[in-house]
A and B are shown apart, each in its own frame.
Chain A
Amino acid sequence: MIWLAGLIGGMGLACLILRSTLLGIMVGIQLLILGGTLIFVLAGISSGARLEGHVVALFVTLGGMAQLVAGFALAIRLFYLRNKTEMSELRSLKR
C-alpha cells in the first residue's frame, strides 16, 4: 500500500514540474497532499500508533485547504491585474 501513497505523491510532484498555470500547480499540490496523508495513515498503522497517524493526516488535509485558499486568491489577483494565470506572471506582482 505504501507504494500507492508514494505514487500518488510522486504524480503530484510530476504535475508540479509539468504544469505552468496556477490551477495546474494547485492540482499537483493537492495530489502531493493526498499522497502525504495516505502515507501518514499507513505509517501510523504500521508503527502501531494508528490514532496518531489519523490525527497528523487530519492536520495535513486541513492545512492543504489553507494552501488552496491562498492559491486561488493569488490566481484571482493575477487574473485581475494581468488577465492570465501563468506562474511566470507571478513575479510581475512584486512591487
Chain B
Amino acid sequence: MILWIFSLIALVAVVIAAFAGDVRRVTLALWIAGLSVGCIYLTLSAEVLAIIQWILSTLTAISFTFFGAMFGEYGSREGGTSNFIAYFKDGRFLLTSSGLLVGIGFAALIWLGAGRIHPNFLIVPESGNDIAALGKSITDHHLLSLEVLALTLFLALIGGGVLARPEVQGEVQS
C-alpha cells in the first residue's frame, strides 16, 4: 500500500516538474519526485540507493534554486498557461500535447517490453539486502565501470571549472 502512495506522489511531482511554467515549482516538484523515488527504493529494499537518491535530489534541488536565482529564472514563468488564448495560438498547446504523447508512448513501450514483475517482488531474499554484497559486487565484477565513472566525474569536475571560467580577453560579448 505504502509503495502505491509513494508512486502516486512521485507521479504527480514528475508531471508538475515536466509541465509547470514556474521554475520555483519545477525545482520543488523535482525534489519531491526524487525523495519519493528514494522512498520507493526503500520499499524495494534498496537502502543504499535510497540514501544516495535522497542526498543527490536535495543537492540537485539546491543547485537548481541557486542557479535559477542567478540566471534570473527563479520565480519567472517559462511556457506557463496564464494566457490561454495565446497558449493555443502560438502552438504551445500542440507542443505540450505532442510532448505528453511522446512521454506516454515511451512509458507504454517500456511497459510492453519489460514483461511482468513477479507478484511477490516486495519479499526480499535473505542475500538480496546485503550492503556488503553490493560493495563486493562492485569491486569484484564492476571495477572497470567504477574506474570509468570516477574518471567521468573527475573530468566533469575539471571540465566544469574550465567551462565556467570568467570571461577571458579576446572573447567578444555580442
Residue of A nearest to B23 (CB): A23
Q: Which of B18, B19, B164 has the most CB of A within 10 A?
A: B18
Q: Interface code A73-85, partner B: CB below 8 Å = 1, 0 otherwise?
A: 1111101111101
Q: How far does the alpha carbon of A69 sit from the alpha carbon of B43 in the complex, in Å?
A: 30
Decide if B95 touches A5 in the complex (CB within 8 Å): no
Is B5 interfacial (CB 8 A cutoff)?
no
> What residues of A have a CB within 8 angstroms of the CB of B110 in the complex?
2-3, 5-6, 9-10, 39
Q: Contact at B79–A37, with CB atoms within 8 Å?
A: no
In the bound complex, CA of A58 to CA of B52 (Å): 8
A1-21 near B? 1/0 per residue, CB < 8 Å? 111111111111111011111
Cβ of A24: which chain B residues have Cβ within 8 Å of it? Answer: 26, 78
* Complex-state Cα separation, A5 to B6, whole angstroms: 12
The answer on a CB contact under 8 Å between B173 and A82 is yes
Interface majority SS (helix, strand, loop, mixed), chain A: helix
**Inter-chain contacts of B86 with A (CB < 8 A):** none
Binary contact track B36-66/A, C-beta < 8 Å → 1, others 0: 0100110010101100110010001001100
Contacts of B52 in A (CB 8 A): 58, 61-62
- Hey, what's the 0/1 contact readout for B87-108 against A, CB within 8 Å counting as 1? 0000000011011101111111
User: How many chain B residues touch A (Cβ–Cβ < 8 Å)?
Assistant: 83
Contact call A69/B30, Cβ cutoff below 8 A: no
A2 to B111 CA separation, bound complex (whole angstroms): 6
Chain A 21-40, CB-CB to B under 8 Å as 1, else 0, gives 10110111011001001110
Could you tell me the distance in whole angstroms from the C-beta of A60 to the nearest C-beta in chain B? 10
Contact call A69/B160, Cβ cutoff below 8 A = yes
Q: Which of A17, A74, A81 has the most CB of B within 10 A?
A: A17
Contact between A63 and B164 (Cβ–Cβ < 8 Å)?
no
Residues of A within 8 A of B (CB): 1-15, 17-21, 23-24, 26-28, 30-31, 34, 37-39, 41-43, 45-46, 50-52, 54-55, 57-59, 61-70, 72-77, 79-83, 85, 92
